[in-house]
Amino acid sequence: MLKGGPGSGKGTQCANVVKHFSYTHLSAGDLLRAEIKSGSEFGAMIQSMIAEGRIVPSEITVKLLCKAMEESGNDKFLIDGFPRNEENRIVFENVAKIEPAFVLFFDCPEEELERRIMNRNQGREDDNIETIKKRFKVYVESTLPIVSYYESKGKLRKINAAKPSEEVFEAVKVLFTSET
Ligand SMILES: Nc1ncnc2c1ncn2[C@@H]1O[C@H](COP(=O)(O)OP(=O)(O)O)[C@@H](O)[C@H]1O
Ligand SMILES: O=c1ccn([C@@H]2O[C@H](COP(=O)(O)OP(=O)(O)O)[C@@H](O)[C@H]2O)c(=O)[nH]1
Ligand SMILES: [Mg+2]
Could you give the CA distance from residue 144 to residue 51 in angstroms, rounded to a whole number? 21
Task: Tell me the residue range of the domain where 11 lies.
Answer: 2-179
CA of 91 from ligand 2 middle (Å) equals 17
Helices (H), the chain: 10-20, 28-37, 43-51, 58-72, 86-96, 110-118, 129-138, 144-152, 165-179
For residue 18, what is the domain's CATH number? 3.40.50.300
**How many structural domains comprise the chain?**
1
To 5 degrees, how large is the angle CA 69–CA 28–CA 104?
90
CA of 21 from ligand 3 middle (Å) equals 19
If DSSP codes are grouped into helix, strand and coil, which group holds residue 108?
Answer: coil
| Averaged pLDDT, groups of 10, the chain, 180 residues long | 98 98 98 97 98 98 98 98 98 97 98 98 96 98 98 98 98 93
What ligand 2 atom has the least distance to the C-alpha of 55? 24
Crossing angle between the packed helical segments 10-20 and 165-179, to the nearest 10 degrees: 50
Would you state the pLDDT for residue 180?
75
Q: Are 175 and 157 in contact (CB under 8 A)?
A: yes
Quick check: CB of 11 below 6 Å from ligand 2?
A: yes
Would you state the pLDDT for residue 119?
97
Q: Which residues of 129-154 are buried (b: 16+ CB within 10 A; e: fewer)?
A: eebbeebbebbeebbeebbeebeeee
| Ligand at shortest distance from the CA of 107 | 1
Would you state the pLDDT for residue 161?
98
